[in-house]
Amino acid sequence: MPINIPKNPFFNGNTSEEKIFRLLNKLPNDCIVCHELEIQGRRPDFIVFSPRLGMLVLEVKAWNITTIIDGDQNDIHIKNRHEHLGDFKSVAHPIRQANNYLYLLRDTLLKHKLSKEIVNEDERYKGRLLYPLAIAVVFTNITKQQLNNHSIQQSTARISHERTLLKDEIDDLLNNQDISNMAFEQKLRRFFVPAWQFSLSDRQKAVVRSILSHEPIVVTTPEPVAAAEPQISHAVDFILKQYFSLETEKNRKSEYMSSVTSEINLISKDTSPDIDNTNFINQHSESINRLVSKISQGITESAAHDADELYSHSKAIKLKTEETVIKKTIHDIEKQQQALKSKLSRLASILEVEIA
């Protein structure tokens, strides 16, 4: 269990924040979870510090999908729970809200009297924090599919999946009793863009804790471990990083493929609704040949329509080819992940022998 600040947070009936607090308690014991820590007069829902990832600001929203109406990159219009105040109200876009917290957090860390101990001394990055900062917006009552289907995703107010933790994943993680602390921590790695490798001394970790908790610096001595365990643990960490990096890439490819497939279906519906998917390209090619032959016979009143249809058939073939390539890429990623799983299993068995 991580270090909690405060030790026993008060949620005042906010079940969404309480749910995320339970989830964050799956983190390793050298992590820090802060609930509503005051940062220059503001109180982010959660600030999470990991000595391996960096610092993450979490903005938790208990909205249902029907709560969201529309908006732009700055503000979101949501349904007003109090009818006498109007049908809707405007609130800060959660991504912008979380980013504002992040800027205040960075400013606070850099201005702290102990900041010189946690900033980079390398000339190229001088004055920057040693570790990255990141944000994520948490929707405890909205699934990935619900968000995808909402019109807001087609507007400037689009809520990026790369920066969100949704109900599906939250529930899966909470219900997964077998997930290790380190494996759960790696699930948060995708929010750190850009990310970089860094290493903090026990003193530097204590400084971070002191800044967040407003308590004196306490340097803890790590417990001794078996000689072989650190090397194996490093190997496990490295493999997990590879695995979840592949998982992030797979998710991106899958999302893109969904949009490509939707566009293919839309084009096919308008041009050739009876086309058989197994012979997709050949049948579209036949339509193209027919149209080219027709257009080559001379300009007619329907030439513009024929040209549009020709373009649609050509685009359908291009998209179908692209879809095939993406499917192969996803398949290759899954094969790589399976190989990494096998390596993890072998390392886990070795680690058990060493500990025993």
Inside any domain, residue 245: no
Inside any domain, residue 146: yes
Same domain assignment for residues 164 and 51 = yes
pLDDT higher than threshold 60 for residue 354: no
Same domain assignment for residues 216 and 270 = no
pLDDT higher than threshold 90 for residue 31: yes
Q: What is the pLDDT of residues 131-187, one digit of tens each?
A: 999 999 999 999 999 999 999 999 999 998 889 999 999 999 999 988 888 999 999
Inside any domain, residue 255: no
Same domain assignment for residues 199 and 297 = no
Confirm if 313 and 287 have CB atoms less than 8 A apart: yes
Identify the pLDDT of residue 232.
66
Identify the pLDDT of residue 24.
96
**Domain ends where: 203, 223, 243?**
223
Identify the pLDDT of residue 278.
57
Identify the pLDDT of residue 110.
94
**Domain ends where: 223, 240, 275?**
223
Same domain assignment for residues 127 and 74 = yes
Same domain assignment for residues 179 and 280 = no
Spatial neighbors of 25 by CB under 8 A, at least 6 apart, are 1, 2, 4, 33
CATH number where 181 lies: 3.40.91
Inside any domain, residue 290: yes
Inside any domain, residue 309: yes
Measured on CA atoms in the order 65, 71, 74, 76, is the torsion positive or negative? negative
Average pLDDT in the chain: 84
Helices (H), the chain: 15-24, 94-111, 144-149, 167-175, 181-187, 202-213, 229-271, 280-296, 303-355
pLDDT higher than threshold 90 for residue 287: no
Same domain assignment for residues 296 and 212 = no
Same domain assignment for residues 176 and 324 = no
Same domain assignment for residues 287 and 142 = no
More confident residue, 265 or 205: 205
Kindly report the backbone phi and psi dihedral angles of residue 76, in degrees, each rounded to the nearest multiple of 5, phi listed first. Answer: -120, 135
**Domain ends where: 223, 252, 273?**
223
Same domain assignment for residues 72 and 146 = yes
Same domain assignment for residues 210 and 283 = no
Same domain assignment for residues 275 and 214 = no
Inside any domain, residue 66: yes
Inside any domain, residue 351: yes
Domain extent at residue 111: 3-223
Identify the pLDDT of residue 9.
92
Q: Count Cβ neighbours within 10 Å for each residue of 131-156 and write b for 16 or more, e otherwise.
A: bbbbbbbbbbbbbbebbeebebeeee
pLDDT above 90 covers a percentage of the chain that reads 47
Same domain assignment for residues 205 and 275 = no
Of 172-176, 199-203, 343-347, the one with minimum mean pLDDT is 343-347
- In 3D space, the residue among 281, 251, 288 whose CA is nearest the CA of residue 264 turns out to be 281
Lookup: tokens for 316: 């359908």
* Domains of the chain: total: 2
Identify the pLDDT of residue 166.
95
Inside any domain, residue 233: no
More confident residue, 148 or 256: 148
